[in-house]
A and B are shown apart, each in its own frame.
Chain A
């Protein structure tokens, strides 16, 4: 059974950093592109970043370029999102998702990130 389990969320002050992790199991992690998708409270879904199977190619939405870094450790079956210079508008639930074609076929349960002083 495919499982994606996020961790690392919490309350953080504006300008500070946070690192999210996503532990994958039930499939060959290194064979799939992976992504982070967020959802602000009561709002819709927004793609945040994607990474290729080997980690050599990364892609970001404009609003997080230069602040967020997606990475992966295929030996540990884990996806990461390093979030720096956090802003209040980054407050959201962050989902780890597996790429299917270029969409997403499996999603984690999500982890909440709250940016507030």
Chain B
């Protein structure tokens, strides 16, 4: 199984911050990586697919990048509504999620 390791596991941030979180795959997954946002008590929402493609309706402050084994999700100008847990997913093999990065207010 391909293990997806996310870092950091949590971040304390302020509104307006630029936020960067990472996901490392245990083997080459090409660009077969998605990023999801899950707010408390809600289902996950697709943000980024194919490592760098913004899904329909996702604000352009969300940017995904990377290929191979290293991937990054960046939120420029963090908003209060972006407080959530973010998960990466690889689907180059049977799908596996990372453990999540939780964004909390300072």
Instruction: Tell me the A residues contacting B by CB distance below 8 Å.
Output: 35, 44-47, 50, 59, 61-62, 95, 100-105, 107-110
List chain B residues, Cβ under 8 A from A110: 43
Known contacts: A44-B98, A47-B95, A109-B43. The answer to whether A103 contacts B89 by CB under 8 A is yes
- Contact yes or no, B100 A44, CB < 8 A: yes
| Cβ < 8 Å to A, chain B residues 15-45 | 32, 34, 36, 38, 43-45
| Cβ < 8 Å to A, chain B residues 43-96 | 43-46, 49-50, 55, 87, 89, 91, 94-96
* Tally of B interface residues using CB under 8 Å: 22
Known contacts: A44-B87, A45-B87, A101-B49. The answer to whether A107 contacts B43 by CB under 8 A is yes
Instruction: Tell me the B residues contacting A by CB distance below 8 Å.
Output: 1, 32, 34, 36, 38, 43-46, 49-50, 55, 87, 89, 91, 94-100
List chain A residues, Cβ under 8 A from B98: 44
- Contact yes or no, B34 A108, CB < 8 A: no
- Contact yes or no, B96 A47, CB < 8 A: yes
* Cβ-neighbour of A105 out of B32, B46, B96 (below 8 A): B46
